[in-house]
Amino acid sequence: MAFPWPEVGTALADVMTPMPVIDEDRLAANIARAQAYMNQHGLAFRPHIKTHKIPAVARAQMAAGAVGINCQKLSEAEAFAEAGFEDILITFNLLGLERLSRLRALKDRVARLTVVADSAVTVDGLAAVPGLAVMVECDTGGGRCGVQTPEEALALAERIVAAGLRFQGLLTYPAVGGAERVEEFLRATISLLTARGIDCPVRSNGGSPDLWRAHLVPSATEHRAGTYVYNDRSMVRAGECGPDDLAMHILATVVSRPTPTRAVLDAGSKALTSDLLGFSDFGEILGLPGARIVSLSEEHGVVDLSACEGPLPAVGDRVRIIPNHTCVVSNLFDRMVFHRNGLVSLVEEVAARGTVW
């Protein structure tokens, strides 16, 4: 299906809606600011490409000084290997013959490939890729994957070594603001590893919400973050960025004004996603204080205007929305439109869209 993507030079006001658009200057500033912070604190920085899924953006992150990239799924890593990336960390337990065979092929293409494991089953499978660099994922409060104790981390590191793999270190994705707990877990584990003579070169911490507190985990050598590159409404709420750091907005059009207090947008869950991230509405409409996007169907967003003061939008008016969560928006569009000075400056394929395998 060939859609009429906007040409470079098109005014934003003429871009069809609904459309996410990226401010190139803000994007560049976000990349530079995060890298400068990491440099200042002597931390390696490894951007998570899930937020943008675009090689050109990852290249800008690498050019700024990133040590490599972070992918979440094997197919995401395959897409970035195809684009020439040579240092890739996949933060996912890779299981099964089909995946391990693809992983072997990927290792031959990528100079520095690292994966994670949090169980003996995963490590035993990875043994099919001799010499692969493997980190032990640790659960330091995030409540997702990861070993639960330093003792478990040690046991898994020993199993990695015994399996003919290369133990690369420890990795965590903490609950927001969990610096002390992360530091405690890392330090205790390093101590156990040292006692057994196992080197632990990389200690990788993560998260955009924790980005500006990364220096509070002295045992970490590396930080990973994704959302910081575009930022979103949840990051503003968390105090991690200001409104001027928001690089992504969703352009939308009012297509119906059925009642004095209701507007309907052409942006629904296929443009904004249903991610609430703790908000009670599906994004913030700029310049329309009090308006709330109260419900989404796939192609419509229903806006409650009853708390608005001032002029209300009419049918055909365009609005600009701050999305709750940018990463999930990237996954819905085949291409991403960038702009500078009010004009479309670049239209890039979202190369790793749909990579769930």
- What part of residues 245-264 is at the interface with a second copy (CB under 8 A)? 253, 255-259, 262, 264
User: Which is nearer to a second copy, 93 or 168 (by Cβ)?
Assistant: 93
Size of the site for a second copy (CB under 8 A): 71
Is residue 122 near a second copy by the rule CB under 8 A?
yes
Supply φ then ψ for residue 243, to 5 degrees. -55, -30
Q: Tell me which residue of 48, 39, 62, 32 sits closest to 214, measured CA to CA.
A: 39
Rounded to the nearest whole angstrom, what is the least distance from the CB of residue 218 to a second copy in the complex? Answer: 25
Integer-rounded Cα radius of gyration of the chain = 22
Q: Which of 175, 299, 312, 343 lies at the binding interface for a second copy (CB under 8 A)? A: 299
Q: Which amino acid does the sequence have at 269? A: S
Q: Does 105 bind a second copy (CB under 8 A)?
A: no
237 contributes a contact to a second copy by CB under 8 A: no
Check residue 54 for interaction with a second copy (CB under 8 A).
Answer: no
| Region from 27-35, 36-44, 113-121, 240-248 binding a second copy, contact rule CB under 8 A | 113-121
| CB of 291 closer than 8 Å to CB of 278 | no
Pick one of 220, 333, 336, 339: the residue that binds a second copy (CB under 8 A): 333
Q: What is the DSSP string of 38-89?
A: HHHTT-EEEEBGGGT--HHHHHHHHHHT---EEESSHHHHHHHHHTT--EEE
100 scored as a contact of a second copy (CB under 8 A): no
For 125-156, the DSSP string reads HHTTSTT-EEEEEE-SSS-SSSBSSHHHHHHH
Local structure of 225: helix, strand or coil: strand
Q: Which stretch binds a second copy (CB under 8 A): 55-63, 90-98, 178-186, 191-199?
A: 90-98
Closest distance of CB 184 from a second copy, Å:
18
269 binds a second copy (CB under 8 A): yes
For a second copy, the binding residues in 15-44 under the rule CB under 8 A are 16-18
Q: Is residue 147 within the footprint of a second copy (CB under 8 A)?
A: yes
How far is the C-alpha of 231 from the C-alpha of 247, rounded, in Å? 6
The one among 134, 156, 202, 351 contacting a second copy by CB under 8 A: 351
* Shortest Cβ 78–a second copy spacing (Å): 7
Element (H, E) at 161: helix 150-162
Binding residues for a second copy restricted to 55-74, rule: CB under 8 A? 72-73
- Given the rule CB under 8 A, which of 77-85, 199-207, 214-222, 336-344 is the region that contacts a second copy? 77-85
Give the shortest CB-85-to-a second copy separation in angstroms. Answer: 14
φ, ψ of residue 86 to 5 degrees: the values are -115, -5
Asked if residue 11 binds a second copy (CB under 8 A), the reply is no
- The C-alpha atoms of residue 6 and residue 333 are separated, in whole angstroms, by 14
Binding segment for a second copy (CB under 8 A), chosen from 104-112, 155-163, 274-282, 305-313, is: 274-282
Q: Does 275 bind a second copy (CB under 8 A)?
A: yes
Give residues with Cβ within 8 angstroms of 301, minimum separation 6.
252, 264, 265, 266, 267, 268, 272, 282, 283, 293, 295
Cβ contacts of 101 within 8 Å, gap of 6 or more: none
